[in-house]
C-alpha cells in the first residue's frame, strides 16, 4: 500500500496536468478537454481523501500506542451517578419506564439530560457535520453571556523628556456583545420493533440522527442566520470589502481575492481561513496572478490542507454562489475565532409514547440550545454586495 506521501506526490502530478490544461486553453475548454479535466479533478480529489484518511488512521494509532498503559481517569461523581443513570435512561428510551435515577438528569425544559456516552457521540457527529465548529471559538454558558469588545483602541503619543502626559490621555471604547440561547430541535421516529431489539444500539442511532441534523442546521445558521429565533451568521456580522473592479462584473477574479485578502487587517491574516462554496472554489482553481501562477495550491504534505493565496479554506453548501442575486457574500475571509458559539449545557431528549402509536412508532423529541455571533467584526471580512 502506498504511503500518504506517495499518494500526495501522485496527486501533485495530476494537479499539474490540470493546471497545464487551464493555461493551454485560456478561452475555455472544448467538450473533450472538459471531460479530461473533470476526470483528472475527480482522480486527484480521490487521492487527497485517501491520503488524509490514511494519515488520520496512522495518527490515531500512534496516539493510542503512546497512551497505552496509562491509568484511566477516575469517573466524576456525575458519571458514576452512575451506571444506574445510564441503565435508567436506556430503559426510558426503550420502553418509557421512568426511574428515580433519572432525577440526576432532570431538565426544567421537560426533557432529560442524556448520558455521557450519548452526549459525546452526539457532539462528535454534530461537529463532523458542521464545518464551522472546528475553527470558531466555542464556550459553554448557563445563562446570558456578555462579551466586552474593544471597538476603538486608545492611542499613544510622543513626549518630550519630563513632559506632562495630559496631551496623550486616551481611553479605548467598548461595545457589548450578548450571547443568549436559541432552541434547536427535531423529532426522530423509531419503530416499536427496533426498540424491542436488544441488539440494536438505540442510543447510538438517536445520537447519529440528532447529531447529523443539528450539525447541518447549525452550520447554516452560523453562516447566514438572521439573529431572530436563530444565531446571527458570519455573513451578517462580517465587514464588507468594496471591490476595485466594476460591480457589473459578478465573476470572481484575482482582483476580487486580492481585495478581500488585503481588506482584512494584517494582525488577523496569519490565522485566517477562507469560507466559500464548492462552485466558487472550482472557479478559483483556474485563476492565476500576474505571474501566471495559480492562486489555489494543493496540499502536498501529510495533514496539510489545500490553500488559496497561502491560507486554508473550508467549504459549505450554505455559502451563496458567485453572482447569486441578491448576493449577501460569496467569499468570507478571516480569523474565525472571532465568531463565538455559545452552547447551553446539556442535550435533552423526551420520549413521546402516544403521538405516533397508531403507526407503530415512538417519537423522541430532542433539543439543544445555542447562539453564535461575530464578536470582532474587523477580524472577518466578506465581498461587498455587487
Each residue of 132-155: pLDDT tens digit?
Answer: 999 999 988 877 777 666 655 567
Give this prediction's pTM: 0.74
Task: With a cut of 80, say whether residue 346 has pLDDT above it.
Answer: no
Residue 149: strand pairing partners:
175
Question: Which residues lie below 8 Å from residue 134, measured CB to CB, with a gap of 6+?
Answer: 127
Question: Which residues lie below 8 Å from residue 369, measured CB to CB, with a gap of 6+?
Answer: 181, 182, 183, 184, 343, 344
- How far apart CA 45 and CA 245 sit, in angstroms, is 32
| Burial class for 43, CB neighbours closer than 10 Å (0-12, 13-18, 19+) | middle
pLDDT of residue 91: 64
- Cell numbers placing 47: 487521492
pLDDT of residue 308: 94
pLDDT of residue 349: 85
Run of H or E including 89: helix 83-95
CATH of span 112-154+163-277+316-386:
3.30.2400.10
Question: Which residues lie below 8 Å from residue 13, measured CB to CB, with a gap of 6+?
Answer: none
- Mean model confidence pLDDT for the chain: 80
In terms of residues, how long is the chain? 386
Residue ranges of the domains in the chain? 112-154+163-277+316-386
Each residue of 220-234: pLDDT tens digit?
Answer: 999 999 999 999 999
Question: Which residues lie below 8 Å from residue 107, measured CB to CB, with a gap of 6+?
Answer: 113, 346, 348
pLDDT of residue 173: 55
Strands (E), the chain: 112-113, 137-141, 145-152, 173-179, 182-191, 239-241, 273-276, 296-297, 307-308, 311-315, 332-334, 339-344, 348-352, 361-374, 380-383
Lowest average pLDDT, out of 226-230, 240-244, 254-258, 292-296, goes to 240-244
Cα angle 137-140-143, degrees, rounded to a multiple of 5: 125
Residue 308: strand pairing partners:
296, 311
Inter-CA distances, 147 with 53, 159, 339, Å: 38, 34, 12
Task: With a cut of 50, say whether residue 322 has pLDDT above it.
Answer: yes
- How far apart CA 380 and CA 386 sit, in angstroms, is 19
Task: With a cut of 80, say whether residue 253 has pLDDT above it.
Answer: yes
Task: With a cut of 60, say whether residue 121 has pLDDT above it.
Answer: yes
- pLDDT: which is higher, 113 or 271: 271
Each residue of 288-297: pLDDT tens digit?
Answer: 887 888 999 9
Task: With a cut of 60, say whether residue 159 has pLDDT above it.
Answer: yes
pLDDT of residue 335: 96
Mean pLDDT of 240-267: 82
pLDDT of residue 96: 58
DSSP 8-state secondary structure symbol assigned to residue 73: P
pLDDT of residue 265: 93
Mean pLDDT of 81-100: 58
Which phi and psi (to 5°) does residue 174 adopt?
A: -125, 150
Question: Which residues lie below 8 Å from residue 160, measured CB to CB, with a gap of 6+?
Answer: none
pLDDT of residue 178: 76
Task: With a cut of 90, say whether residue 161 has pLDDT above it.
Answer: no
- How far apart CA 317 and CA 321 sit, in angstroms, is 9
Q: Are 308 and 283 in contact (CB under 8 A)?
A: no
Task: With a cut of 70, say whether residue 160 has pLDDT above it.
Answer: yes
Task: With a cut of 90, say whether residue 354 has pLDDT above it.
Answer: no
DSSP letter string over 249-281? --S--HHHHHHHHHHS-HHHHTT-EEEE-HHHH
Task: With a cut of 50, say whether residue 359 has pLDDT above it.
Answer: yes
pLDDT of residue 108: 44
- Cell numbers placing 370: 445555542
Mean pLDDT of 117-143: 89
pLDDT of residue 81: 42
- pLDDT: which is higher, 59 or 292: 292
Which phi and psi (to 5°) does residue 106 adopt?
A: -60, 135
pLDDT of residue 154: 63
- pLDDT: which is higher, 177 or 338: 338
Lowest average pLDDT, out of 158-172, 185-199, 261-275, goes to 158-172
pLDDT of residue 69: 47
Mean pLDDT of 177-196: 88
- At residue 86 the predicted structure's pLDDT band, cuts being 50, 70 and 90, is low
pLDDT of residue 119: 82
Which phi and psi (to 5°) does residue 43 adopt?
A: -65, -45
Residue of 227, 229, 245 whose CA lies nearest to 237: 227
Amino acid at each position: 500500500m502506498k504511503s500518504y506521501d506517495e499518494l500526495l506526490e501522485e496527486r501533485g502530478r495530476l494537479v499539474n496536468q490540470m493546471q497545464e490544461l487551464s493555461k493551454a486553453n485560456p478561452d475555455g475548454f472544448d467538450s473533450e478537454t472538459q471531460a479530461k479535466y473533470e476526470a483528472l479533478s475527480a482522480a486527484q480529489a480521490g487521492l487527497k481523501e485517501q491520503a488524509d484518511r490514511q494519515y488520520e488512521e496512522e495518527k490515531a494509532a500512534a496516539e493510542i500506542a503512546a497512551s497505552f498503559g496509562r491509568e484511566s481517569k477516575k469517573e466524576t461523581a456525575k458519571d458514576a451517578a452512575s451506571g444506574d443513570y445510564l441503565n435508567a435512561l436506556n430503559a426510558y428510551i426503550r420502553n418509557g419506564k421512568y426511574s428515580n435515577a433519572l432525577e440526576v438528569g432532570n431538565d426544567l425544559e421537560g426533557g432529560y439530560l442524556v448520558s455521557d456516552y450519548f452526549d459525546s457521540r452526539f457532539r462528535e457527529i454534530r461537529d463532523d457535520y458542521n464545518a464551522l465548529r472546528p475553527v470558531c471559538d466555542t464556550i459553554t454558558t448557563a445563562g446570558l453571556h456578555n462579551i466586552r469588545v474593544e471597538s476603538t483602541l486608545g492611542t499613544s503619543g510622543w513626549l518630550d523628556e519630563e513632559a506632562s502626559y495630559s496631551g496623550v490621555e486616551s481611553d479605548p471604547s467598548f461595545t457589548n456583545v450578548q450571547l443568549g440561547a436559541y432552541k434547536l430541535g427535531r423529532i426522530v421516529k423509531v419503530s416499536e420493533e427496533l426498540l424491542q431489539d436488544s441488539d440494536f444500539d438505540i442510543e447510538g442511532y438517536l445520537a447519529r440522527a440528532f447529531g447529523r441534523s443539528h450539525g447541518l442546521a447549525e452550520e447554516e445558521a452560523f453562516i447566514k442566520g438572521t439573529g431572530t429565533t436563530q444565531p446571527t451568521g458570519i455573513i451578517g456580522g462580517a465587514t464588507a470589502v468594496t471591490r476595485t473592479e466594476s460591480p457589473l462584473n459578478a465573476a470572481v477574479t484575482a482582483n476580487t481575492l486580492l481585495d478581500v485578502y488585503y481588506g482584512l487587517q494584517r494582525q488577523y491574516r496569519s490565522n485566517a481561513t477562507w469560507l466559500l462554496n464548492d462552485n466558487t472554489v472550482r472557479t478559483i482553481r483556474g485563476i492565476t496572478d500576474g505571474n501566471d501562477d495559480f492562486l489555489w495550491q494543493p496540499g502536498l504534505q501529510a495533514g496539510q490542507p489545500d490553500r488559496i493565496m497561502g491560507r486554508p479554506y473550508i467549504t459549505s453548501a450554505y455559502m451563496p454562489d458567485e453572482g447569486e442575486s441578491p448576493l449577501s457574500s460569496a467569499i468570507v475571509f478571516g480569523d474565525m475565532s472571532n465568531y463565538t458559539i455559545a452552547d447551553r449545557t446539556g442535550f435533552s431528549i423526551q420520549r413521546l409514547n402516544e403521538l405516533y402509536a397508531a403507526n407503530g412508532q415512538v417519537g423522541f423529541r430532542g433539543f439543544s440550545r445555542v447562539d453564535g455571533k461575530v464578536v470582532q467584526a474587523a477580524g472577518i471580512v466578506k465581498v461587498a454586495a455587487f
